Amino acid sequence: MKFQDPCKCRCASCGIEAELPVSLLLAFAADCPGCGASFKEAGLRVRGMVEETATFFSAMKIMLRVEDHLGITITDELAKETCEEHELTLANLATLAMRASPSVSPALADDAIRSAVRIEFPGAPESPDFAAPLLEAIGKTPQFGVVSS
Ligand SMILES: [Zn+2]
């Protein structure tokens, strides 16, 4: 995946191609220079990509710590399968650790995840929400600027 700034977007209403700053797209503040239609749809797509990338890298950081902590190896196939799930949570990562090795109990997995989050994301809540979307659970929800009216 490659980000381009400004980003080339085609207007869904009038069909012209516009080059728009990514910051405006992310803030839902971009309008079509041709017809004035909102580029919110494109903004949503870019936000989705940012969140997906941030989630993926955060999950990687946590799982590397968990592997270390538990002395297990998580295969690429298993990790890929879990990352392709729609919304990644700490609960998904705990399940991943348990699937990687039969010696990992739920309590052990939770403990390893908690410890990994504490080390990697000092700003995370003390008792992270295992069911929340990953970025929310670790207090890293991306900020995209002010939403235009
Ligand atoms: Zn337009």
> Domain for residue 121, yes or no?
yes
> Domain for residue 147, yes or no?
no
CA 14 – ligand 1 centroid, Å: 4
> Domain for residue 49, yes or no?
yes
pTM, entire model: 0.83
CA–CA separation, 136 and 22 (whole Å): 23
The per-residue pLDDT for range 84-142, each reduced to its tens digit, is 876 899 999 999 999 999 999 999 999 999 999 999 999 999 999 999 999 999 999 88
Token pair recorded at residue 28 = 């839902």
> Domain for residue 90, yes or no?
yes
User: What value does the mean pLDDT of the chain take?
Assistant: 91
> How many structural domains are present in the chain?
1
CA 139 – ligand 1 centroid, Å: 37
CA–CA separation, 142 and 82 (whole Å): 22
Looking at residue 95, what DSSP letter applies?
A: H
CA 10 – ligand 1 centroid, Å: 8
% of the chain residues with pLDDT over 70: 95
Q: Give the closest residue to 87 by CA, choosing from 60, 44, 56, 126.
A: 56
> Domain for residue 149, yes or no?
no
> Domain for residue 15, yes or no?
yes
> Domain for residue 99, yes or no?
yes
Residue 24 has pLDDT above 70, yes or no: yes
CA 144 – ligand 1 centroid, Å: 23
Confirm if 1 and 49 have CB atoms less than 8 A apart.
Answer: yes
User: What is the span of the domain harbouring residue 102?
Assistant: 7-137
CA 25 – ligand 1 centroid, Å: 14
> Domain for residue 145, yes or no?
no
pLDDT computed for residue 146 by the predictor: 61
The per-residue pLDDT for range 32-90, each reduced to its tens digit, is 999 999 999 999 999 998 999 999 999 999 999 999 999 999 999 998 888 887 689 99
CA 143 – ligand 1 centroid, Å: 27
Residue 149 has pLDDT above 50, yes or no: no
Secondary structure class of 128 (helix, strand, coil): coil
CA 17 – ligand 1 centroid, Å: 8
pLDDT computed for residue 145 by the predictor: 72
CA 36 – ligand 1 centroid, Å: 6
